[in-house]
Chain A
Amino acid sequence: MSVAVPVELAAAASPVKAVYAHMDCLMTGIVNLKKAGFTDLMVMTPMPRHEVEEAVYEGEPSPVRWFTLCGGLFGGTMVFSLMSLTHANWPMILPGGKPVVSVPPFMVITFEGTVLWAALGTLVGLLLNCRLPATDLPEEACDPRFSSDCFGIVLERVGANDAAQIRHILEHSGAIEVTGGVAASPGAVANHGDSHHG
């Protein structure tokens, strides 16, 4: 049974992967790709590098900070409320002239609650924004060399018309290996679709 081939699927090429042994070559690759208008790229490094972050994110701050702030505010408020409400709930309140809800001694646990929940909020923010556990990364990104001594660039969604230009940029930036970027023929895509849907 044959299936109609969607135009965008027919025009797609396989993901392109470039492997680098040198930091300056990696940076050249990123900058030249962005200059050519290819911004949907994934860069792999074995350690954090500020120049990579700057080149890819251009100073855009991570939203993790909002998770930290919200976590801290929630924690401080929640813990202070817990202490106040439980003290007010004692069956016999004999304060002897002292306030039942007393701010100075409650500040210690309020501080601890703020810090604890700010940390938990940061953890949630980290996991959500990093999309961890990461199960949907392309196979090309899962190269063991990227946790050892190599850097990498992967372009997952590549149009068949762009593949040659992308490969050219990566090869000329000093990549030690460039793979992918092969345009899938309409027939192959149709058969592929056939095997899934047929």
Chain B
Amino acid sequence: MKNLTYKDVNKDVLRPLFTPDYAYLGVLGATLTVLVVTGLCWLYQMVYGLGVAGYHPPVFWGVYITTFVFWIGIGHAGTLISAVLFLTRSRWRTGVYRAAEAMTIFAVMTAALFPAIHVGRAWYAYWLFPYPNQRQLWQNFKSPLMWDVFAVSTYFTVSTIFFAIGLVPDIASVRDSTTGFTKKLYGVMAMGWRGTDRQWHHYMAAYGFFAAIATPLVLSVHSVVSWDFAMADTPGWHSTIFPPYFVAGAIFSGCAMVITLMLPLSILFKLEDYIHVWHFEHLAKLCVFTGGILTYAYGTEYYVAWYSDNQYEWGTFMDRVYGKYWWVFAVMVFCNCIAPLVWWFKKVRTNYVGLFVVSLIINVGMWFERFNIIASSLAHNFDPAGWVYYYPTWVEGGILVMSFAWFFLWFLLFVKIMPSVAIAEVKEAMRPPLKYEPEHAAK
């Protein structure tokens, strides 16, 4: 790594902005096309109703809720990296936290589509929010679904504020390195930021509070999402282990997605001096740790189901392994428990191919984990007469692909209009330029 100066940081991080090359435009165009085409699947569902999804009584939660939980989980890593690692003063967060935070926001924006998709009549999604209405009906605040509305909207708002505040000093750097209309636009967004002692004094105090506020949210959001299931008495769901199990899974999948996104970003935008293999190695270690918790949780679930001597619970868990959804279970175990084990070897977790391939496998595995929990439990409920085999239709598949296109579109736009590495924080982590060496100055 070369010896960087403050000027180099500005130059390197701001270089990829505003100048899209053909490759970037090609990827952007392809993503937009996929979004429009698969978006038609949602339109089709709105016109013809939820019957076009593969629902079959008693399974009315399927791909949409699975994908909702998947994206909420992806959104965990950003806040973990930006807030928790800020409070613990982990130096390796500096290079990756900006893009991870952006990923969080776009993942939650993607997840937020799914309650609306899932309820069918998306235009009535506002019924979820508390407002005085003329029918004299108020929401039931004792319901975990209402808790989820508040948890997700709070998480989204706090993460967005945290992200936007973190961006302000860097937007000022963009303003100062551009001209004309761009300068004016970024000048408005920078809100007159000049890096004065007064601004930094209150900024750093506020930033610490934002980090402290966001930290319990990392734990609470997926705990609340897990209660959507654990508070019901459905076999396979009704478990006290769900909150820590879901939180570990969320961090696991989120860190994997950070690797999936940032590896190509660092290479394509030539940001290897700021996001290098050292960062990815730490993320891989975090995945190995949380993957271990997840594997332990899978085992505990089976132990508790067996030890409880509850025939419904044990029946559901056996059905997951030996029933029609055996392949979902196998994919989940392979991707989440076995594949990440290769990251115990330093050679693999410091190799770009090894990192990228395993991160993709984890992403696939975590989607199937949620599908395994949701679909297999509902399809094998208390009454054997109601046992069914739910499988997604092409409409649900299309909407799943749409969610990825929507997420990647936002991320692609972000990397071209905002600095994807935190300029001020990189400078803060660097040794400041000194005229005299400390020992000389002391004399």
Contact = CB atoms under 8 A, between A and B. Distances in A.
A61 B208 CA distance: 13
Contacts of A47: 169, 195, 424-425, 427-428
Interface in B110-138: 130, 136, 138
B48 interface: no
Given A134-B194, A147-B195, A52 B10 contact: no
A112 interface: yes
B7 A62 contact: no
B204 interface: yes
Given A86-B141, A134-B191, A116 B435 contact: no
A33 B284 CA distance: 49
A42 B202 CA distance: 14
Contacts of B153: 116
Contacts of B142: 102, 105-106
Interface in B141-174: 141-142, 146-147, 150-151, 153-154, 157-158, 161-162, 165, 169, 172-173
Given A22-B435, A112-B150, A122-B209, A45 B200 contact: yes
Contact of A24 (B6, B7, B214, B441): B441
A76 to B, nearest CB: 12
Contacts of B425: 47
B205 A24 contact: no
Interface string A88-116: 01110000000000100110110111011
B49 interface: no
B173 A148 contact: yes
Most chain B CB inside 10 Å of its own CB: which residue of A82, A91, A132: A132
B7 A64 contact: no
Contact of B130 (A44, A86, A105, A134): A86
A119 B157 contact: yes
Interface string A29-42: 00000000000001
Nearest to A123: B161
A157 to B, nearest CB: 15
B435 A24 contact: yes
B161 A119 contact: yes
A24 B194 contact: no
Interface of B: 5-7, 10, 130, 136, 138-139, 141-142, 146-147, 150-151, 153-154, 157-158, 161-162, 165, 169, 172-173, 175-177, 191-206, 209-210, 213-214, 216-217, 220, 224, 227, 423-425, 427-428, 432-436, 441
29 contacts: A21-B433, A21-B435, A24-B435, A24-B436, A44-B196, A46-B195, A46-B424, A47-B428, A48-B203, A48-B428, A49-B432, A53-B204, A56-B201, A62-B201, A62-B204, A86-B130, A108-B227, A112-B151, A115-B154, A119-B158, A119-B161, A119-B210, A130-B199, A132-B192, A134-B192, A134-B193, A141-B196, A147-B176, A148-B177
A7 interface: no
A137 B192 contact: yes
Contacts of B199: 130, 132, 134
Given A64-B205, A86-B141, A149-B10, A109 B161 contact: no
A192 interface: no
Interface string A110-136: 011101101110110110011111110
B281 to A, nearest CB: 26
A57 B200 CA distance: 11
B206 A115 contact: no
Contact of B224 (A57, A108, A125): A108
B213 A148 contact: no
A65 B139 CA distance: 33
B158 A23 contact: no
B165 A123 contact: yes
Contacts of A118: 209, 213
Given A109-B146, A116-B154, A116-B157, A142 B194 contact: yes
A65 B209 contact: yes
B435 A174 contact: yes
A57 B150 CA distance: 39
A168 interface: no
Contacts of B434: 22-24
Closest 7 CB pairs of A and B: A134-B192, A62-B205, A144-B176, A23-B432, A149-B6, A126-B206, A47-B427
Contacts of B428: 47-49
Contact of A126 (B6, B196, B203, B427): B203
Contacts of A68: 209, 213
Contact of B206 (A64, A83, A116, A141): A64
A148 B435 CA distance: 18
A19 interface: no
Nearest to B8: A149
Nearest to B174: A147
A74 interface: no
Contacts of A21: 433, 435
Nearest to A100: B142
A133 B161 contact: no
